[in-house]
Amino acid sequence: MTLLDYWVVGLYLAVTLILGVGIVRRSRDLDDYLLAGRSLPGWLLLGSIVATETSTVTFLSIPGMSYAAGGDMRFLQLAAGFVVGRLLVAWLLLPLYFAGRLRSAYQALAERLGSPAKHMAAVVFLITRNLADGLRLFLTGLMWTQIVGGSLETALLLIAGVTVVYTWAGGLRSVVWNDCVQLVVYVAGALLAMAIIFEALPGGFREVVAFASQQGKLRIWYTTWDVSMPYTAAAGLIGGAFLSLATHGADQMMVQRYLSARSRRDATLAVVASGIVVFAQFALFLFVGIGLAAYFDAFPPGSPIERPDAALATFIATSLPAGIRGLLLAAALAAAMSTLSSSLAASVTTAIVDVAAPLGWIQPDTPGKLPLFWSRAAVVVFAAVQVAVAWLAPYFTQHVIDAVLAIANFSTSVLLGLFLLAAGRRSFHPWAAVAGMTLALAIMSLIAFFSPLAWTWYGILGALLTASLTLIVDQAVTGHSTLPSD
């Protein structure tokens, strides 16, 4: 890193702070802080949704998939399923969220499934979201130390500190506006990396395409029904659709954006169009990986690249001119901060609305600034939790880290089963959903750790398990009758 690189990264962080603190008006009440006054347009939410689901891990690992020996474009099968899944979110779940003045996704569960299901869903979300995003923050810190140097602790405090300031100051409105800026930054970074690769290779774009064709890296479709393979046409279109239905339909981090829309039409536009944009984004990232493979084939690095997902970080650290290196590092930071800020905003809303308010600790509709004070305090608390998780991550084995991320991945599918039941007209015994969700989490844990089933099938399996087990428990307790929720 040169002085110019540091100036570029510093400028990006300064602009982020200025935008996050300066662009927002002072929040008047909790709805203004947590939901931006329910006034955000669809195009702004579209950019925020795309940026939120793109972490630094995504920014580095997707190019690694096509860069790896034998790697290709097969991940696009999953991205195609994501498009289908978002259409299902708009059709099945958005009507549920716009049926009343909800602040949280999990409030939608109370009417049909009972308050215990709402509370358990909120707690599962808070635990898995903060553990998983703390580990993602750790991986971002590792990337920083690889490129910049310095200690992991310094990297974590810098990344989290800037994100906390603008999230604390402006709430969701600040988060969404910064998401859109960060989307532009990291997409521009990917395009710039691709342009530099084209410029460095004698044959430019044609040489990259010829290399990709020779190495079989342009293949997309795999039609096998082997359920142990994560990237096949079936796993992508079916499994990917349910994964997207879970992550974008049953996760407060995404649902919070729909609830902040100025209309259901804007929310529908945002969620449906985001699938198309994400497909194009993944295609870009995969082509960057192919470009990296062609580049390092022509110009081998000084030391071997040990992991495919380290290829882009190695390229940034060793092959870019001063200033450009800083811009690419800023792009990676943008991907990290968009996810972190959204995680904090969603965690705060869930903790205030679904945990603290029912226990009587906070009254969200109380006039004055007290609810805002506690919301801002919660931003700092959840940031501290995620930094602590990231700081402790090096003391755990890779197996533990993988296990936590696996649980976080399938927990949303278990929650999806509850939302699909809630979208119907039937009410359930207040504890049937809790029992169904508990059993489904246990079974999914066994499947994830002791079966060869690919993770891309977790979405449909987790949802079906939760829904069917809840129905079975409800029938066992109540017979064929239905009971109103508490």
pLDDT tens for 25-49 read 566 788 889 999 999 999 999 999 9
Of all residues in the chain, the percent with pLDDT exceeding 90 is 68
Using the predicted structure, report yes or no on whether residue 23 has a pLDDT greater than 90. no
CA atoms within 13 A on the CB side of 436: 35
In a domain, 439, yes or no: no
pLDDT in tens, 196-213: 999 999 999 999 999 999
In a domain, 12, yes or no: yes
In a domain, 26, yes or no: yes
pLDDT value at position 24? 60
State mean pLDDT over 134-154: 87
Radius of gyration over alpha carbons of the chain, in Å? 22
Q: How far apart are CA 446 and CA 346, in angstroms?
A: 28
Q: How far apart are CA 136 and CA 25, in angstroms?
A: 31
pLDDT value at position 397? 67
pLDDT value at position 331? 87
State mean pLDDT over 444-452: 92
For residue 261, the SS3 value is: strand
- Please give the structure tokens belonging to residue 94: 């958005």
State mean pLDDT over 106-113: 91
Length of the chain measured in residues: 486
Nearest to 56 by CA among 297, 299, 316: 316
CB-count burial class (<10 Å; 0-12, 13-18, 19+) for 479: exposed
Range from 223-232, 270-279, 392-401, 449-458 carrying the lowest mean pLDDT: 392-401
CA trace torsion 168, 170, 175, 180 (10° rounding):
-140
pLDDT band at 484 (very low <50, low <70, confident <90, very high): very low
State mean pLDDT over 231-245: 95
Q: Check: CB of residue 167 under 8 Å from CB of residue 344.
A: yes
Identity (one letter) of the amino acid at 34? L
Q: Vertex 248, ends 362 and 193: CA angle to 5°? A: 115
Q: Check: CB of residue 45 under 8 Å from CB of residue 257.
A: yes
State mean pLDDT over 155-180: 92
State mean pLDDT over 157-172: 92
In a domain, 432, yes or no: no
Tokens 């096998």 belong to: 224
In a domain, 109, yes or no: yes
pLDDT value at position 58? 84
For 360, other C-beta atoms within 10 Å of its C-beta total 7
Q: What is the mean pLDDT of the chain?
A: 90
Total structural domains within the chain: 1
Using the predicted structure, report yes or no on whether residue 486 has a pLDDT greater than 50. no
Nearest to 389 by CA among 10, 135, 50: 135
Here the CATH number for the domain that contains residue 265 is 1.20.1730.10
pLDDT in tens, 318-358: 888 888 888 888 888 888 899 899 999 999 999 999 999 88
Question: DSSP label at 394?
Answer: G
* Structural domain containing residue 84: 3-397
In a domain, 458, yes or no: no
State mean pLDDT over 78-87: 96
pLDDT in tens, 275-325: 999 999 999 999 999 999 999 999 999 888 988 988 998 998 888 888 888
CB-count burial class (<10 Å; 0-12, 13-18, 19+) for 247: buried
Quickly list DSSP for 87-131: HHIIIIIHHHHTTTT-SSTTHHHHHHH-HHHHHHHHHHHHHHHHH
pLDDT value at position 394? 87
Q: How far apart are CA 425 and CA 124, in angstroms?
A: 25
Q: Check: CB of residue 234 under 8 Å from CB of residue 74.
A: no
For residue 345, the SS3 value is: helix
Q: How far apart are CA 394 and CA 389, in angstroms?
A: 10
